[in-house]
Amino acid sequence: MERIAVFPGSFDPITLGHLDIVERGQTLFDRIIVAIGHNALKSYMFTLEQRMAFLEDTFAGFDGVEIDTYQGLTVDFCKSKGANFILRGLRNPADFEFEKAIAHTNRTLTNREIETVFLLTGSGKSFISSSIVRDVIRNNGNYTFLVPDAVRI
């Protein structure tokens, strides 16, 4: 059975932390679907098209990595793609507490058919978040050491 994981997020923008999780996740899964979820309650700095382009450029040449978008529940998207895993990155204990609640909910919603796998972000990248990157960009700071080359606008 093929091991397929969905790595969901807004990726506004993708960071080196996200890239780290996908690179390391490739050793665990046959296929990783990096999926931009639409959250109607969020306002984004980058358009969906820009975020898709960032992801496509970043993961060009990566075997077994696909880029997609979805609306609605992540577990419903996973089912539509035949994925039995959700891949999530953790930077700190606060991330764990937040993600743990979502993982338990997702597992209950799917009658234990979909399992969440957590990877700790590499120590040199654990301070990076998309919100920090956006703040640095808004204030004309140097953000290039926080993101893949594709995001350097």
Query: Looking at the annotation, which residues are catalytic?
Result: 18, 42, 91, 130
Residues 19, 24, 28, 29, Cα dihedral to 10°: 20
Name the residue among 86, 145, 148, 80 with its Cα closest to residue 114.
86
* Structure letter (DSSP) for residue 114: S
- Cα separation, 139 vs 143, whole angstroms: 10
Both structure tokens of 38:
């639409």
Name the residue among 20, 23, 27 with its Cα closest to residue 126.
20
* Structure letter (DSSP) for residue 132: H
